[in-house]
Each structure stands twice: as C-alpha cells, then as structure tokens.
Structure 1
Amino acid sequence: DMDMCSRGYIGTLEQSVLDGRVSAEAVDRACRRVLEAKYRLGLFDNPYKYCDPKRRKKDIFTAENRAAARDIAAETFVLLKNDNGTLPLKKEGRIALIGPLADTRSNMAGTWCVAYTPERYSTLRESMAQALGGKAELLYAQGCNITADERQQKDGEFGKSIKRGDDALMKAEALAVARQADVIVCAMGETAEMTGESSSRAKLAMPDVQAALLAELVKTGKPVVLLNFSGRPTVLTWEQDNVQAIMNVWFGGSEAAHAICDVLFGDKTPCGRLTVSMPRATGQEPLYYNHLSSGRPVEEGAKRYYKFRNNYLDVRNDPLYPFGYGLSYTTFEYGEPRLSAATMERNGGVKATVTVKNTGDRDADEVVQLYIRDRVASISRPVKELKGFQRIHLKAGESREVTFDITPDMLKFYNS
C-alpha cells in the first residue's frame, strides 16, 4: 500500500488509473488501509503534533531523554574479551586514546540517523576527558586514516567525514603517545556509513591501516583495549589472539561516547549479548547459530579438521564469538536446569527452571537464555533455537531462580 523510494506510485500510478490498469477503488482501499494503520497507532489523537515548532525544544534532547539514551546505549555494548581484568580501567595514570574514531561526532549515531544533530553530541575524546575529571592524564592521537585508499574512505563516509592525514606521520605520533601511556584505548573499526544499506564489504577484518597501527601498538607491550565500532559481524581473529580487552560498541546513538566511558571505567557493568555470530573468517558468512545439521557434522567445539565431514580445512566451524555471547565484569554460575515435567500435553506446558548465582564481587545484570532443539521431527530442525531470554539483576553473591514457560507454540514449526 506504500511506496518509499522507487517512486513507482508518483511516476506511474496516475497513468495506470487513466489507462484502466488500476481502478480508483483499489487506490481508495490502499489509502484506507494506510489511514487505518495511522489511526491504530494514535497518530490522529494529535494530528498536528509534529507541526509544532516549539515541541522540539521541550520534547527532544531533554535531560531525561538523554539519560535514558545513555543507559540504553551502555546496555548494548558487548564485552568480547577481558584478559586479567584489564577492564574496567582505573581513573589514574596516563591513558592514551588512539584511533580515527576517537574524535568524531557524526559517526557516533550510526547510519540512517537522518534527523540527527551531531553538533550536540560529544566525541569519545571529550567524554573521556570529562569522565576522568583530572584524575588521570588523557593523551590523544588520531593514529591513522580509516583506510589507506582515500576514495574508499570517502565512499564509506557519505558525508560523515573524518580528517585525513599522512599515515606514516600519524602512526609515528600515535606510537610516541603510546610509549608515554600506562594503557592504550583504541577507537577503531567501521565508520557509521561503512555498514547498513548499500554498504557491503567483501572483507570483514579491521581496515588495512587501522590493523597495521593496532599491531604496532600491541608491540609496545602496553595493555591495549580495543573499542570496535561496527554495525555488522566483523572478523576479530587477530585481535582476539593479541589484544588484552575487546568491547564491541556498535553505534550507540547521541549519548554513545558518554555511555562508552560509563562502561570503560566501571561506572556500569557490560551486559550486552551478541545478536549475531562473529566469524573467524569472512568466508564463513553467512553464519547462523540456528543452522540445520548436515549429514556428516563435526561436533561443536571441534579443534581440528575431519576428512569427509562438514568442515573447513583452514578454520574451525564455530564462530569466534557465538550468538548470545557476552562477558561481564563479574562471573555467574548456573545450576542444572530442571523441568516441571518430563512430558507435555498437546495444549499443556512445561516450566524450565535454573538457579543463577553472581559469584563475583560486582552487582550486575545477566541475560539468561533458553535454547531448544527438536532432535526427532518430521523434517530437519535447527541445531538450536533461542526461545526465551530474561535480563536479571543480581547483587554480588546473590542467587535467583529463573523460570521459563515452555508452551506448544514455542515448539511448533511449518513442515510443508
């Protein structure tokens, strides 16, 4: 009933009605369905709401809305690696912030943010200085361009520009800054417009000059924290093997920079979980957690290649970071899952219960996830399917029982 960008209705519909190919009644029915949808959404309750020029000042970018945006953004970040408790960082000593995404406003909100106002947003550099409040010295260097190729970088910016410089000179400056620091925080990855609509990439690894700079920073021997900006699954295999801590920060919106600092310095604990599987290599894509089993599968977690089985010669089948994965600044212990019954009536239900305990020394959220597999069905079924999740808050040392209701609808599937 609606046409957004092809301009098919604007360019051809009137002529189609005149030619008799489309009836006026069909157009009326389509219009009615659109109006009915708007009515159900409540858009006619105050039809001139968005025509009020004063509304923007009192309803948008308010302190309350910004606080909510900041909290929401912090909950989306996914801690992928944290060796030896590198994170959270202490607000002391010298901290080097390095990377082409460290001092940009326009790339914080991501793609398709048409009405965004980046002049109101903080850069990560500004937010970090504010968060430290003079308790630690913040050092900064851009370090490199987004990509070595200028044309490719501009194509990936789509107007959200990052200043280009001489990569050799910027790398030298970054290494000099890094040598003065106690810890290095790298803001690297994709620009906002390198992902999303009409922004495909054939290689999902860290872009060339960024990867080269990151490798040199690791060689300094200083602890390195990677803040990976991305809007898609990216390949972080080298980073997993060589960097002390990695947090995927996506594009968190207007308050992204402040939210990153909240988690980075431990004012909030990371609780995001991956909604995608992160591959070990680009060639693994498309990579689904809920894939069908093959006739000759290898076991999940297999460490080597098996001839005449469904696996790769040069990389293991499993993702580097699986769907639903995410670390915390604390640890959780799960008890053995318990079912209320061994069987379920056709119109009945079963309860699945598990005890979760926060075994660390920080209060934190945990996302408890329920996966189900149908091993005997009329057709092949996925190796597992997410059927429920609950976010719970546990104080340090606290335990709680979490219960999921398994219903017939959760087990149904189409077999034709």
Structure 2
Amino acid sequence: MHRRQALLRLAALPVATGLAGCAEIQKPAEALAESLAADARIEALILRMTVEEKVGQLSLYAPAAEEILGNPQTGQVGLRQQFDDIRAGRVMGLFNGEGLAAKRRAQEVAVRESRLGIPLLFGVDIIHGFRTVFPVPLAEAASWDPPLSERTARAAAREGTADGFRWTFAPMIDIARDARWGRVVEGYGEDVLLTRRFAAARVRGFQTADLSRADAMLATPKHFAGYGAAEGGLDYAAVDLSERTLRDVYLPPFKAAIDAGALSVMAAFNEIGGVPSNANPWLLTQVLRREWSFEGFVVSDYTADEELIAHGFAADEREAARRAFLAGTDVSMQSGLYMRHLPELVRSGDVAMARLDQAVRRVLRVKQRLGLFEQPFRGLQEDAPGAPPRFDGVAHRQLAREAAQRCIVLLKNSSDVLPLPRSGRRIALIGPFADAHSLFGPWRPFPGQLPPVGIEDAIRAQLADASLLTVVRGSDVESPLDGGIAQAVAAARQADVVVMTLGESDQMSGESRSRTDIEVPPAQQQLAEAVAATGKPVVVLLRNGRALALRGAVRNAQALLVTWFLGTETGPAIADILFGDVSPSGRLPVSFPQTPGQVPFYYAHKRTGRPDAQGGPGRFRTRYLDATNEPLYAFGHGLGYAPVQYAALELSPGRLTPGQPLSVVATVANTGARAVDETVQLYIGARAASFTRPVRELKDFRRVRIEAGQTVQVRFTLTRDDLLFTGADMRPTVDTGEFDLWVGPSAVAGLHATFMLVPG
C-alpha cells in the first residue's frame, strides 16, 4: 500500500521539477514521470477492481457465434452471453475474430458499458501472413536471412493491425529435430543459432521499437518449452529432456525473443519430465521470471490449463486452475477455467490476492504499453484519426515474391538441366500441385487473403510460346487417378523436359498432423517412377512442410528443388528460379534423412564411445545395418547456378582467450558465369569437455553476393562467449582446450582448422 501511495504522489509531481533548463536531464525525467503515472493509474485501477473483474483480465476467449448457446468442449458461448461477460468485466480479450465491425462493437461494450472501462485486447494467429500470405516459417528459415523475415513480419503486422488486431500468437520457435512432427512447418528448423536469430527478427518485425505505434503488434514466442521434442514426433505427446539439453537447445530461442522485447509468452501443451509446461513453476517462474527478468505475461495455449486433468496432473478443474496459476500462467485461453474457479480459490486462501494482483498488473501494463487505454478504438475504425497507416498491397506482394525466391533450395542439378530456356523446348508439367490449390500452407484461417498464383499460370507467362507447355495432373496427392499415369507418360514422351510437382498437401503439415511416413505419398511415387521410365530429364519441385526421405525416381531426378509452401507468390517465384531470372539461394534449415527410420535426425548430434568409423569394420559401432549415418542432404546444403569454391582458411591469432577474440577468414570464389548468393557457415566442435558436446555447432553465417568470376574474403569473429554451454551448476561455462573449426557450405563440408581456447 505504501508503494502505491508513493506512486500516486510521484505521478502528481510536476515533470522535471527543479530541472528546467537542463534538456539532457529533463527528457529522462519526463519519461520517468510518464512511467510512474502509468504505474499509478494501473495501481489505482487494481484497487478498484473486484476479484471477479481481476480474474476477467486473465480470461481470453474466441469470439462468440450469433446463436450458439454453449459448447462444453470449446467453451464457446452465444453473442449475448459474451457481451454480458464483457460488460461485467469478465473478458481480457478476444482472438481470431474476423472484421472490424464485430471487434468495434465488443470494444464499445468494454469501454463504454463496463464499470471500469478496461479495453479489450484482440489477438490473432498470424503464422505466415494475414492478407498477403508469405512463405511458411520453415521456408523463411531456408532463406538464412533473418532481416527478410523481420520485413515479412512487419508487413503482416501492418495488415493485421489494419483489421484491429494488436496481438499475435507467433513466432513459434520450437527447435524441431523429428520430421514426423507436424508443426515443424511453423518453426525455423533444427538449429539453435538459426532459430535464435529468426526469433529475435520476428519479434522486432511484429512489435517495432515502440509498441504504442498504431501498426505495432504484440508478439508471443511459443511454445514454452520443449514442444518440438515430443516423443515419436507425435503432437501434444510427452517430452523427457535433461535440464542441460533444455537449456542448451530448447530455451535459447526464447531468451533471444525476450531480449528482443517480447512481452507475451505462450506456455506449451507438453509435459517435461512429468510436469506439464502450463503448470511448471520452475519453467514459468524460476527461469522465465527470476533468471531472465521477463516482465510480460504468460498465456496458456488453447484450453491447456483444463488439459492438466487429462494429463493426470490435476484431479479436477479447481486443482488445474490452482496449479496452472500458481506456477505462473497468467492468462487462461478459452477454457474459462480461471473465471470459474479463481475467485473462490482467492477467497479460500488457496491463491493469494498478491498473486492475483501480480498477474492482473502484468496484463494491464502490456495493454498500457500498446496504447489501448489512450486509444482503445485505434485500428477498429477505418480512416479515423490515429488509425494504422494503410498498407501497400502491391509492395507486400512484391515482398512475398522476393521472400519466396529466397526460400527455394536447389538440392541437385545434374548436367545443368536448370535453368530452363524460355523457348525451343517442350515442357510437361506433371503432378497434383500445378494449379493454385494447396499452395497457401497450413495456416490460412482468414477470409480475404490474396489468392495464390499457380505454377502453371506462372510458367505460361514466362514462355515465349505458351503452347510448348503441357499440363497433366497424373495423380491426386494421396490417391491415383483413373488413367492419370498413362496420360502423364504420354505427355512426358512428347516433352523435352518434365517438371514434376510432388510432395505434401497443405493439410499434411501443421498442428495435429504428425506423420509416421515422411516419404512422398505412394500414389505420387508411382507416378514419378512411370514418368522417369520414359528417360526424359526430370525436374522435381518438392512441396513440403518438413524434411522428407526421398527414394527412387524422386531421389534420382536430374534436378531437385525444395519449394515448401510459399504462399501468395508461389508460382512466379518458382518460375523465376526455373528460368534463371533468379539464382536459387536457399539453404536447408533441416537435415534430409536417407530413410524415415533415421528420424529424429539432425546434424548437431552427440558422439558415442563407439562412433561409426567410415571405411572401418561395421560391427560394434554406432550405425545401422541397412543405412549409413549420413544425411541424404545435410543441414545448410543448397546450390546456386554457379559453382563456388572455398580456400585459404586463416585463423588469427590461432588461440582464443577471454580478452582476445579469434579472427576467422576464408576465401570464397565464384568460378561460374552467373552471380550467386552464397551462405558461408562457421561451425565449431570441442575435442573434449566436462560434458559431452555436439560433433558440430553452427556459430555464425554470412550471406554474400558473389558476382561471376569474383573472389571474396568472408570474415568471422569468434569469442569465448560463442563457446559457452551449460555446466555442472546449470550455469554457462566453457572448458579450455582444443576445438575443431569448419567454414563451408553445409554442416558436413568445408575447410577445417583447429584452435586452442586458453585461460586469459
């Protein structure tokens, strides 16, 4: 109480008292006074709130339907009931509601008809675009270009805020090393450093440096934590990780997102070591709050607090609400659990009022930072003063095309079958993805999204003579078509080159879409085998939201391009690559295994006491009987339309000390006739340490433009902090000794050197 009274008194003081005439001091004093005033307003508001109104600020719901009376599974209510709840102060915000009118009416009820007038916060799942659909996150990771991803997040935020949304449940930054898991598509792959950099970039893109801007959108890194390590790659399944692995692999992207300014975090569905993340006080309070000083709020995933009962972690709803809330989950999404049970839990003393006030304070402070108290209708009224600036749809479409171009990965290009000429050769486009269907990707819940341009239309637009293109579907995604293979074979025989669109539909990746078989579906594989038997050169365009295990005719195609789910500008971007207007520059953010049986598969694995000896005896080694341990295509791999050579790796001074970094320089030459964008990658590996370390770890990378015939020097700086890992006391440490270092084009190639880390 004394602190609140002091804040109220301080907020009433004149700005910069006694400091007029000293501009350098006055400005911070004004900022301090504004902060104190904001805190005072929030504290005064909390003092006026009933327990039910406080719990209301911790209760998030989907928008109501007009006639629904209630659904016990989803908690959905009718519109009249929801307006009554908003009017009574029982709702913190709404999510995924389309259109301005409905949100504006809900906000009017909250601000003008409720007792305290606290504005609602409108949230939305913007995973890879809102009106303009950008490449899925896994595809953007293949660009190895975080600033590009920051730009697409900024564009998506502009579009979302123009529809009244100020909060997005993104980015998903779960490290994913099991290709069976459906949500691989939503994240940035298997590597810690790459995901860290994309996590920070996405937060900056959504939020900007000033959350009060009309087009700023609160980011929500998710899912905290370890969700990508689900057993068997099965969505929502249990996770069992050591604390060291959790800290070294799965937590760093979240720390990067919070350091970039994220003020909302979503707890994960999964348990870790027997404790569901949604009710894990070590995770949500010790790590997030005490170690990382996170100041925002934690929101549950959809009904995850209620699911503590199904986990076998809580006996009933009351216990589930208590355990989730006391662990550190501030906001309950959709279940209504907090509203039903927290008031009684507070009155009975099972939950302290101080904890309730703490959670409410976190939510209100974020609403304050977003400027909702000052301008609750901003973004909800078109052309009103203070509305978000209109976004440039043409510019966003151009950005979508640029992003899609940079995401495409050329895995293979035998005999330089690519790029294709625009004239003089007949092309057969075969496969189930030639048209504009199934191109968006797994997250496209919003009406009014810009329709994608299909591959067929884009290729025809670039050909000198459109009659040179023949299009045959050949098969559906998962089933054959009557006469489909015969038609495809006939088209292939008449063509000079075949382009096949094969892989997954957009409904085969995403939440609750785990797969045991990560190969191309059998119907398409049969189609590919029949077409390959014609002997014509085949270019395969893979459509996928995960790493795939390729075999047979798909694996042996003359050219292989990974095109992921590229969104609105799918067709034009692919055509730009096929015809050589743009040289492919994407690099794999996930390792492609040779067979499904290798997964989980990732480059940064640990050694064993009996490592596989290449060329040595096969028995009693860490290896399979029927496959090697190598990837089909390695993490970081990707080709351009010109060969690149690495040479002359130099380390200076050859030893690393705490006070002096290591300078790493490599010479990279483009020996071809076309310019390329090369991603130069730096990896290290400790020879020996107090705890075993991965065989390689990515520590830095550079995208460099190299003109035809040009040679460039690429420089890195390696510091002691780059070598840190979690030690015996669960704190960052590093051991002195010898390290391997590689600079190259992937995780299994490159120039090699060694250096010593010595005490300072």
Q: Normalising by the residue count of structure 1, what TM-score does the alignment of the two structures yield?
A: 0.89
Question: Which of the residues 17, 21, 29 maps onto 2:343?
Answer: 17
Distance 1:128 1:57 in 2: 35
- SS of the residue corresponding to residue 573 of structure 2 reads helix
Letter in 2 for 1:83: S
Distance 1:328 1:360 in 2: 10
Once the two structures are superposed, what CA deviation does each residue of 1:241-277 show, in whole Å capped at 9, x if it has no partner? 5211110001112112211111111000001100010
User: Alpha-carbon deviation of 1:284?
Assistant: 0.3
Distance 2:692 2:422 in 1: 53
Distance 1:185 1:34 in 2: 52
Q: Which residue of 1 aligns with 2:428?
A: 96
User: Alpha-carbon deviation of 1:89?
Assistant: 0.9
- Specify which structure has the bigger relative contact order, considering alpha-carbon pairs within 8 angstroms and separated by 6 or more residues: 1
Q: Provide closer, same or farther for how the CA distance between residues 4 and 113 of structure 1 changes in structure 2, counting only shifts above 3 A.
A: same
Q: Which residue of 1 aligns with 2:518?
A: 204
User: Alpha-carbon deviation of 1:134?
Assistant: 2.8
Distance 2:489 2:502 in 1: 15
**Unaligned 5+ runs, structure 1:** 149-165
After TM superposition, the structure 1 stretch with the greater mean CA deviation from structure 2, 117-126 or 398-407, is: 117-126
Q: How does 1:294-313 map to 2 (within 5 A)?
A: 294-299=608-613, 302=614, 306-313=618-625
**Does residue 332 in structure 1 map to residue 634 in structure 2?**
no
Kept after mapping to 2: 8 A contact 1:335/1:355: yes
**Does residue 74 in structure 1 map to residue 411 in structure 2?**
no
After TM superposition, the structure 1 stretch with the greater mean CA deviation from structure 2, 18-27 or 316-325, is: 18-27
Q: Provide closer, same or farther for how the CA distance between residues 403 and 47 of structure 1 changes in structure 2, counting only shifts above 3 A.
A: farther
Q: How does 1:49-68 map to 2 (within 5 A)?
A: 49-53=378-382, 58-59=390-391, 62-68=393-399
Kept after mapping to 1: 8 A contact 2:519/2:550: yes
Distance 2:419 2:364 in 1: 51
Number of aligned residue pairs: give it.
395
Kept after mapping to 2: 8 A contact 1:305/1:313: no
Q: Provide closer, same or farther for how the CA distance between residues 114 and 295 of structure 1 changes in structure 2, counting only shifts above 3 A.
A: same
User: Alpha-carbon deviation of 1:312?
Assistant: 0.6
Q: Provide closer, same or farther for how the CA distance between residues 30 and 19 of structure 1 changes in structure 2, counting only shifts above 3 A.
A: closer
User: Alpha-carbon deviation of 1:333?
Assistant: 1.1
Q: Which residue of 2 aligns with 1:367?
A: 679
Higher helix share: 2
User: Alpha-carbon deviation of 1:407?
Assistant: 1.0
Letter in 2 for 1:268: V
Q: How does 1:213-362 map to 2 (within 5 A)?
A: 213-239=527-553, 241-299=555-613, 302=614, 306-362=618-674
Once the two structures are superposed, what CA deviation does each residue of 1:111-169 show, in whole Å capped at 9, x if it has no partner? 12323646622111111111225366111011101112xxxxxxxxxxxxxxxxx6231
Question: Which of the residues 292, 302, 310 maps onto 1:5?
Answer: 302
Distance 1:77 1:40 in 2: 38
- SS of the residue corresponding to residue 179 of structure 1 reads helix
Q: Which residue of 2 aligns with 1:195?
A: 509
- SS of the residue corresponding to residue 168 of structure 1 reads coil
Distance 1:336 1:236 in 2: 35
- SS of the residue corresponding to residue 527 of structure 2 reads helix
- SS of the residue corresponding to residue 146 of structure 1 reads coil
Q: Provide closer, same or farther for how the CA distance between residues 126 and 304 of structure 1 changes in structure 2, counting only shifts above 3 A.
A: farther
Distance 1:305 1:327 in 2: 34
Q: Which has the larger radius of gyration?
A: 2
Q: Which residue of 2 aligns with 1:377?
A: 689
User: Alpha-carbon deviation of 1:28?
Assistant: 3.5
**Unaligned 5+ runs, structure 2:** 1-297, 306-331, 729-760
Kept after mapping to 2: 8 A contact 1:73/1:255: yes
- SS of the residue corresponding to residue 73 of structure 1 reads helix
Letter in 2 for 1:282: P
- SS of the residue corresponding to residue 483 of structure 2 reads helix
- SS of the residue corresponding to residue 143 of structure 1 reads coil
Distance 1:84 1:264 in 2: 15
